[in-house]
Structure 1
Amino acid sequence: MQGDIGRRTQLLDAALAAVIGTAVVLAALAAAAPGVVDLLLVAAGSLALAAHRRAPRTVLAVTTLCMSAYVVHAHPGTWAAFPVLAAVHAAARSGYRAQAVAAGGLFLTGYVLVLLATAPDTRDTVERSVLLLGWFLCAGVTGLIDKNWQAYLRQTEQRALDAERTRDETALRRAGEERLRIARELHDSLTHSISIVKLQAGVAVHLARKRGDEVEPALLAIQEAGGEAMRELRATLEVLRTDVAEPGPGLDRIGELAERARAAGIALAVTADGDTRPLPADVDRAAYRIVQEALTNVARHADRAGTTVRLSYTISSLVVSVDDQGPCLPGDTVVPGTGLTGMRERVTALGGTLVVAPRAHGGFSVRAELPLTAAGPAGRAVTG
């Protein structure tokens, strides 16, 4: 399916490049009789746009140089800027804003110099220059808008997937807890009662044999049924207690999480200190969820600011720190939402410590210390 989508996108890009090239060639033919060199320059500059998704910077350079050479050689109208406008839009959408500005400035400068050298009408030169400047500004702005829109769509899709996964995990965890509760109830009630029945039947059989009396078949049947009931009950309790651990990703998937965050536009760095080693399952899952929620908050509230994730392993604990360079200032009030509340509940359940607060030099910091040994619900959470 993804391969079909990729081929379809490539065909659309090739078709767009062909349409732009055809339009520029037709405009050139309508304006004058272009030479072979002119047609080659237009074809190369336009058809290169077919690769704008795979190599936006290369396409930007090739298109700008070809069309600039065409402008210097043939002195065409403003329509010669169309391929460059498309390349500038693609580069801005891919995040290469500086290169897009430089390419647009290079083409515009060359075009203006050609106009000044060939057109005696200064007013016409100014009008064309202002028109081209407006076009290039629109191409850059629409490219940035498209980039942010695509990042928003990816983030929304990922949040939907994460929400669905969280719902599934919550349902499985609750089902596991219910199974454990049922297992405890069965053990505390039925096991005791069946044990008493089996014990009493055994005593009755023993006394009958000791007195030399014939043991009633019903009594033997009760004794045998009690033993069989105990075996079946133990097997049932074993099944109920099997595979009830909370499922979910751990820090072994932190790389996937980081790649998704970078795809959403976050400049992210992930580092680890100390003796990296396997963690208890609950700590491993909690650490992953803390990083996930913190990065989600960066995307939502910190304008995808530069962020650093640090995992510090000590002998007795794991410290998870997520620091961003967002717009939050020292002294700003932190109002915990659903995400921070859930984060606090996870840390508290493990007996850890959570600190969420603005940073001293701007930005926001999340720091969770998770003990690696079993802990009761005596953990604490600090906000602010």
Structure 2
Amino acid sequence: MLSVRAKPRWIERLLPLFAGFVQVMGTQGVEWNQSDRVPVDPLGNALLLVGPLALFARRRHPVPVLLVTVVVTCVFILRGHAYGPVFISPIIAAYNAILLGHRRVVAATWAFAYAFFVVYTNWLAPDPVSGWFHNLAVAAIMGIVLAVAEFARVRKERLAERERTETEEARRQASEERLTMAQELHDVLAHNISLIHVQASTALHLIDDHPEQARTALTTIKQASKDVLTEMRSVLNVLRDDAPRSPTAGLDRLDELIERSGLPVVKQVTGEVRPLPPGVERAGYRIVQETLTNVTRHAPGASVTVLLEYGSRALTIQVTDSGGDTPGESLGSGNGIPGMRERASALGGTLTATHHGRGFRVEARLPIPEESA
């Protein structure tokens, strides 16, 4: 697909041919109105074609092309041929050179060309045209060419800067999405695999003496493995172009999470329960999930209280455990609490994790945007 900011390639290729056709045919057309000028001969036609042919190299060699077109035009005029389309090639060359950043070279070349035309038309031409008005008109025409080229150059630079900014913004958003997916995968895997590990250990311990309780643990493992696959699909679906851009975990699924954890959990809710922005819903869900995972790891057998307080400007989440009767196992790298803090900070909130009696308490405060509040 062609960019709206770039000329089609066929125009770039055909422009020199078009300039050559106009210069040759147009010069023959204006000769009848300039009877005092020398008719175009084969050498004159050759000079009319040199400039357009040089334009084919204007992208790679803008300065030499500019010099060639100006010199050829001056020679054509010195031979006494008619004024007219011969100026198309140097105008295109000067415009192109300014777009590519050769402003000083164009200014110097244009100053030379202006001096040549003033000297020639005032003193060297067979029928001199003198006067300040003529000189001013020539300067005005050449100035307009420079002004248009400079305007195009500035516009091109602004468009390039805008594209660069948009590209950087797209990369930043992609990086943030990858970080979000990494956090989601960490939370999903850490919670469910920790749950599977604890329940598997329980099943192995009870399978001989209490097979019915072992059956319950194995059922929990089956459900946890199913849930982890479902949530991983939900997280990874954000890679598809037609998928929702955010995972579906939210506070409405908190009861399912508590039931799967296998812990004795008491859930308390205060304030006006209402839908919250997806970012707040997702962060609240993951904070509770990570906290329950930590209880399962480090305080098996502890009872847990989950408090959700819906305020007018913030959602407060408080998860408190009573402390386990037996020491838990340490799994993973211990990034759970820093990860929860990062989630809260990303929304402009805070999170604290401190000892509470024999147990532990995690408290998060997540601001609610005013439009949602």
TM-score (norm 1): 0.49
1:9 equivalent to 2:9? Answer no
Question: Pick from 156, 180, 203: which aligns with 2:162?
Answer: 156
Cα distance between partner residues in 2 of 1:41 and 1:153: 37
Cα distance between partner residues in 2 of 1:163 and 1:155: 12
Cα distance between partner residues in 2 of 1:190 and 1:97: 70
The amino acid of 1:34's aligned partner reads V
1:134 equivalent to 2:140? Answer yes
Match in the other structure for 1:222: 215
Match in the other structure for 1:26: 29
CA deviations on 1:269-288 (whole Å, 9 max, x unpaired) are xxxxxxxxxxxxxxxxxxxx
The amino acid of 1:37's aligned partner reads L
The amino acid of 1:63's aligned partner reads T
- Where in structure 2 are there 5+ consecutive unaligned residues? 240-341, 347-373
Match in the other structure for 1:295: none
Residues 207-218 of structure 1 mapped to structure 2, 5 A cutoff: none
Residues 214-293 of structure 1 mapped to structure 2, 5 A cutoff: 222=215, 226=218, 229=221, 233=225
Task: Give the number of the structure whose alpha-carbon radius of gyration is greater.
Answer: 2
Question: Pick from 108, 132, 135: which aligns with 2:114?
Answer: 108
Structure 1 stretch 60-69 or stretch 50-59: which is displaced more?
A: 50-59
Cα distance between partner residues in 1 of 2:24 and 2:169: 45
Distance 1:28 1:199, change over 3 A: farther
Deviation at 1:66, TM superposition (A): 0.6
1:88 equivalent to 2:86? Answer no
CA deviations on 1:185-236 (whole Å, 9 max, x unpaired) are 224445323422331123447xxxxxxxxxxxx78x839x839948x95996
Match in the other structure for 1:186: 192
Distance 1:141 1:134, change over 3 A: same
Question: Pick from 61, 67, 78: which aligns with 2:73?
Answer: 67
Distance 1:187 1:228, change over 3 A: closer
CA deviations on 1:73-129 (whole Å, 9 max, x unpaired) are 216447653432232222112211122122212222222222222469987443222
Cα distance between partner residues in 2 of 1:165 and 1:199: 50
Residues 231-380 of structure 1 mapped to structure 2, 5 A cutoff: 233=225
- Where in structure 1 are there 5+ consecutive unaligned residues? 206-217, 248-344, 350-384
Distance 1:125 1:50, change over 3 A: farther
CA deviations on 1:239-268 (whole Å, 9 max, x unpaired) are 96xx99xx9xxxxxxxxxxxxxxxxxxxxx
Distance 1:15 1:76, change over 3 A: closer
Match in the other structure for 2:123: 117
Cα distance between partner residues in 2 of 1:7 and 1:191: 65
Instruction: Note the aligned Cα RMSD (angstroms).
Output: 4.1
Cα distance between partner residues in 1 of 2:21 and 2:153: 24
Deviation at 1:137, TM superposition (A): 1.6
Q: How many residues align?
A: 230
Cα distance between partner residues in 2 of 1:96 and 1:24: 30
The amino acid of 2:186's aligned partner reads L
